[in-house]
Structure 1
């Protein structure tokens, strides 16, 4: 985590908590010539434009006070979307029964990318059901080997 995202997280958490929201992720990235500070928020039934607007307004005021970014940037506050990242243990717990996409640091059975239904997460191992040709197969992935994970939207 960069120093900027750490400072923004410290500033954002009280605002987000007070509004009954959850901080999903903070990104601070340069795209082309412009810098973007993206704050992703969520709540149980999803966030709406008013939630995003309130967080943006209040966080913008705090950022102006503290001024942790020495150059111009765009602040974007939004939902993480349908394919939200899974970063914390509770994200995995809440996603049991849902379709997920998982990338690993090293191959498991010759593969590093997996998509399927998350059947279980015990803090140490993810158990997912994947399709191999026309059959369903259960696969266990050690948590420490997960490089990235997100919900997966699949159309059938």
Structure 2
């Protein structure tokens, strides 16, 4: 899944390869990989989004540590033949939802989901996330209507910045 920008299959393939290369090291360092995106062009950009496994907010030092580790792996494996810019960041409050566990963890919050196909006559959904079933069906309530969206049909999903989300984030920082 990607966030705002559409990426082509070549870029998605590069991102998947990079994710497979760096995820074990990132995981061993105590971080969870949220998303890897690669956008080619005149100034190619490799974006790595991660979060701490212990739930503590990411710091600049965390991003620098991930950047150094990823750079070392990518220098050896060389999956991108051209020069590129590496950007490492945390997912932020209105984060993308990319893993099945995200749809459980953030149940109860407002989300926007874009599907890659028509589901009940539409591709875009916005509403309260109800969670994900064991069979991979994401449930969302839009007003009085509940929708069921297969996880594998989700092109993009992200939390919507609301007062409830900001309060929950502030409460998590206090703990």
Tell me if TM exceeds 0.5.
yes
**Cα distance between partner residues in 2 of 1:69 and 1:142:** 34
Deviation, 1:36, is 0.6
Structure 2 residue runs without a partner (length 5+): 1-11, 165-175
Q: Which moved more, 1:143-152 or 1:35-44?
A: 143-152
Structure 1 residue runs without a partner (length 5+): 132-136
Pick the structure with greater CA Rg. Answer: 1
The residue that corresponds to 1:129 in the other structure is: 141
Aligned pair count? 148
The corresponding residue for 2:157 is 149
Partner residue of 1:23 out of 30, 33, 38: 33
The separation in 2 between residues aligned to 1:93 and 1:146, in whole angstroms, is: 15
Task: Using structure 2 for the length normalisation, give the TM-score.
Answer: 0.73
Does the Cα contact within 8 Å between 2:119 and 2:149 map onto a contact in 1?
A: no
Q: Deviation string for 1:53-85 (max 9, x for gaps)?
A: 001012112222222221110011111222222
**What's the C-alpha RMSD, in Å, of the aligned pairs?**
2.2
Greater fraction helix: 2
1:1-156 matched pairs, under 5 angstroms: 1-2=12-13, 4-31=14-41, 33-43=42-52, 44-104=55-115, 105-108=117-120, 110-122=121-133, 123-131=135-143, 137-143=144-150, 144-154=152-162
